[in-house]
């Protein structure tokens, strides 16, 4: 992926990125290339499904495709997290009627119409009279009317069919359950050995969950928290302080919050993440009808568009690309929607009008000056030479309309930056070391010209840190002709 290698497919001019989940419908290298050519920037490995061998094969296929097309591709390993479920029933399923009593307990006996095993003593310990339990993705709702050391007595408020091992959500209680299970720890160790670029942490409730994962991951990958618990929203600022990126995981969040609260939470998370310069992904059911249909609903298209208007760095496909019949079409549709919104004059005006407050300090002042300068000239691109990615994140937070070229000597960092809004990342390799600002100017000009981002004679704005090879020291701003 060095600067001297052919870039193959031209970089997408979209600022908002696409995350595509891999699965049975998209596992081989040929299909992965199809999705990359359709517009996928990041591929998600969902560790809730598949074996380590499956994920290793997909990881290798992604890296093969990356080499073929000549641009970095990011890989996200999404950990399953703790799964809370009821036990099995003697007849496989029961019907719960509104108003009836129903017990959840630690007894290993098969369930019936009166009770079922709840193999999570943490829930029994934490729940109180009046707490609600949501079963089967929120389709059924129980209210706790009594409790003992080994059981919860409940009244059914919303009934329906309940079958073996359906999920349990406890929206009103902070559960004393770690975000990393033993399975997660094994999966995390394996994913890091593969060299994934991001690790997504599920079931985050508090900052301590993130700190624990950070101690394990270190700098081997960037950490992404999935915000899917109301308890996490109460500690949003503390959680964001310890993570590198954020996912608005609207699946479980939509179960545990009232539906009307989810859009509000989404906007709050995006605004908070952007203010910190941390990439944020909006996920779940974005084009869900395209699992079985070649075209989306109008509501789904509006949902994707609204994520762009909100300022998300990326939007994600789940089952649409992992198991759907129209994986390529889903990516293509998402890419068209993103591109259309980004041509909208109102969207552009909003970008110019809304800027998060900048922290005091030279690097953030340089980022703000680069945005103003690129807009005033106007510049064809803002180029950032970076060792750590921090300078790129600061520029992306400003949301410039021109492309942000991220030049780095590290392949791993180039891949991580692929997720970031508006960024075209490229590893410039170790064979052409940078020793001064003139080297940065030369490499940025060559890359901008080679990728069709700038024409000869156009100007680019360049930021870097002096002295070189010191991460986090952005202090230099330069305008140069291509």
List the chain domain ranges: 17-81+179-341, 93-169, 352-481
pLDDT classification of 472: cutoffs 50, 70, 90: low
pLDDT of residue 7: 34
Residue 225 CA to residue 79 CA, distance in Å, equals: 10
pLDDT of residue 431: 54
CB 110 within 8 A of CB 86: no
Mean pLDDT of 282-299: 97
pLDDT of residue 187: 98
| Contacts for 434 with CB less than 8 Å, ≥ 6 apart | 385, 409, 428, 440, 443, 468
Q: Which one of the listed residues 14, 117, 226, 229 is annotated catalytic?
A: 226
Does position 3 have pLDDT exceeding 70, yes or no? no
| Contacts for 420 with CB less than 8 Å, ≥ 6 apart | 17, 279, 313, 392, 393, 396, 404, 406
Q: Which one of the listed residues 16, 21, 154, 284 is annotated catalytic?
A: 284
Mean pLDDT of 206-234: 95
pLDDT of residue 389: 94
83 carries an active-site annotation: no
pLDDT in tens, 193-207: 999 999 999 999 999
Residue 398 CA to residue 271 CA, distance in Å, equals: 13
Does position 178 have pLDDT exceeding 70, yes or no? yes
The model's pTM: 0.92
183 carries an active-site annotation: no
pLDDT of residue 326: 97
pLDDT in tens, 306-361: 999 999 999 999 999 999 999 999 999 999 999 999 999 999 988 888 878 888 88
CB 134 within 8 A of CB 171: yes
**Options 3.30.413.10, 3.60.15.10, 2.40.33.10, 3.40.50.920; which CATH number does 93-169 get?**
2.40.33.10
pLDDT of residue 428: 84
Q: Which one of the listed residues 85, 143, 183, 358 is annotated catalytic?
A: 85
Residue 482 CA to residue 473 CA, distance in Å, equals: 25
Quick one: tokens of 21? Answer: 């989940």
Helix (H, G, I), strand (E, B) or coil at 439: helix
- Domain with residues 352-481, CATH architecture: 3-Layer(aba) Sandwich (3.40)
pLDDT in tens, 370-387: 999 999 999 999 999 998
Does position 5 have pLDDT exceeding 70, yes or no? no
226 carries an active-site annotation: yes
Mean pLDDT of 255-271: 93
pLDDT in tens, 7-47: 333 445 799 999 999 999 999 999 999 999 999 999 999 99
Pairing of strands 160-163, 42-46: unpaired
Residue 12 CA to residue 476 CA, distance in Å, equals: 28
Please tell me the class of the 17-81+179-341 domain: alpha beta
Q: Which one of the listed residues 17, 33, 44, 117 is annotated catalytic?
A: 44
pLDDT classification of 163: cutoffs 50, 70, 90: very high
pLDDT in tens, 83-136: 999 999 999 999 999 999 999 999 999 999 999 999 999 999 999 999 999 999
pLDDT of residue 295: 97
85 carries an active-site annotation: yes
Helix (H, G, I), strand (E, B) or coil at 449: helix
Does position 224 have pLDDT exceeding 50, yes or no? yes
Does position 435 have pLDDT exceeding 90, yes or no? no
């Amino acid at each position: 992926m060095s600067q001297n290698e052919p870039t193959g497919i031209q970089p997408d001019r979209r600022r908002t990125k696409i995350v595509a989940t891999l699965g049975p419908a998209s596992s081989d290298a040929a299909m992965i290339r199809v999705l990359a050519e359709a517009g996928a920037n990041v591929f998600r490995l969902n560790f809730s499904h598949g074996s380590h061998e499956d994920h290793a094969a997909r990881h290798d296929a992604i890296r093969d495709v990356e080499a073929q097309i000549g641009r970095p591709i990011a890989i996200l390993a999404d950990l399953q997290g703790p799964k809370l479920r009821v036990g099995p029933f003697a007849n496989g399923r029961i019907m719960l009627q509104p108003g009836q009593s129903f017990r959840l307990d630690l007894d290993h006996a098969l369930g019936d119409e009166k009770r079922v095993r709840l193999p999570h003593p943490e829930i029994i310990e934490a729940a109180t009279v009046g707490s609600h339990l949501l079963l089967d993705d929120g389709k059924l709702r129980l209210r706790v009317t009594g409790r003992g050391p080994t059981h919860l007595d409940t009244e059914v408020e919303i009934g329906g069919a309940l079958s073996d091992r359906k999920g349990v959500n406890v929206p009103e209680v902070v559960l004393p359950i770690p975000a990393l299970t033993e399975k997660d720890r094994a999966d995390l160790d394996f994913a890091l050995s593969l060299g994934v670029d991001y690790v997504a942490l599920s079931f985050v409730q508090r900052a301590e969950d993130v700190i624990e994962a950070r101690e394990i991951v270190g700098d081997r990958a960037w950490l992404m928290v999935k915000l899917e618990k109301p308890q996490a929203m109460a500690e949003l600022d503390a959680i964001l302080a310890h993570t590198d990126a954020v996912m608005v995981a609207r699946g479980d969040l939509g179960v545990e919050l009232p539906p009307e609260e989810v859009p509000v939470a989404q906007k709050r998370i995006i605004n908070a993440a952007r203010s910190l310069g941390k990439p944020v992904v909006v996920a779940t059911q974005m084009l869900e009808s395209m699992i079985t249909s070649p075209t989306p609903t109008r509501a789904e298209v509006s949902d994707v568009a609204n994520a762009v208007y909100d300022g998300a760095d990326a939007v994600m496909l789940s089952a649409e690309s992992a198991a759907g019949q129209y994986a390529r079409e889903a990516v293509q549709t998402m890419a068209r929607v993103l591109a259309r919104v980004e041509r909208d004059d109102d969207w552009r005006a909003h970008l110019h009008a809304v800027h998060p407050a900048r922290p005091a300090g030279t690097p953030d002042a340089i980022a703000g000056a680069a945005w103003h300068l690129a807009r005033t000239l106007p510049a064809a691109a803002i180029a950032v030479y970076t060792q750590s990615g921090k300078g790129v994140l600061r520029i992306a937070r400003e949301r410039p309309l021109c492309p942000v070229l991220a030049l780095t000597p590290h392949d791993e960092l180039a891949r991580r930056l692929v997720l970031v809004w508006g960024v075209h990342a490229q590893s410039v390799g170790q064979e052409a070391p940078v020793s001064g600002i003139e080297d940065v100017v030369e490499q940025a000009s060559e890359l901008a010209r080679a990728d069709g981002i700038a024409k000869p004679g156009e100007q680019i704005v360049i930021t870097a840190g002096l002295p070189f090879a010191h991460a986090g020291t952005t202090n230099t701003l330069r305008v140069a002709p291509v």
